[in-house]
Amino acid sequence: MDLIGAIRDVDPGDVVLLLSDSDRSLTDVPEWVEEAGNELRAVEEGDDHHEIYVEKV
């Protein structure tokens, strides 16, 4: 949800890095990114938190 707010604020071509400690983000975020037509740049899973890079198209 926070990611969507951040995507609203940036320009096309900008990449937003989401830090999330919820495993749910690993499925929710790629699903939304595809639905909204944005680009998933990278997903780095970690023990403490995951890092998900999304480019606004």
Partner 1 sequence: MTEEIVIIGGGTGGSVLANDLAERLDEEIDAGDVQVTLINDGPDHVYKPVWLYVPFGKREPEDGRRPLRELVDNRIRIREDRVTEIDTDAQQLSTAERVSPTHYDHLVVATGSTLAPDEVPGLAEGGHDYYSEDGALALRDELLEFTEGHLVLSVIGSPHMCPAAPLEFVFMADDWFRKRGLREEIEITYTYPINRVHGNPHIADWAQPLMDERDINTETFFNGEEVDPEAGTLTSMEGSELDYDLLVSIPPHRGVELIEEAGLGDRGWVEVNKHTLEAEHAENVYALGDAAATGVPKAGSVAHYQAATVGQRLASEVRGQVPTAAYDGKTICFIETGMDSASFVEFDYQNPPSPVTPSEKIHWSKLAYNESYWLTARGLI
Name all contacts of 42-46 with Cβ < 8 Å and 24+ positions apart: none
Both tokens assigned to 4: 């969507």
Distances (CA, A) of 45 to 3, 10, 18: 17, 24, 12
Instruction: Give the whole-angstrom CA distance, residue 43 versus residue 5.
Output: 19
Contact letters for partner 1, residues 8-37 (x by CB under 8 A): xx-----------x--x---x--xx--xxx
Contact flag: residue 55 with partner 1 (CB under 8 A): no
Contact flag: residue 47 with partner 1 (CB under 8 A): no
Give min distance, CB of 17 to partner 1, in A: 13
List interacting residues with partner 1 (CB under 8 A).
1-2, 4-5, 7-9, 21, 24, 28, 31-32, 35-37
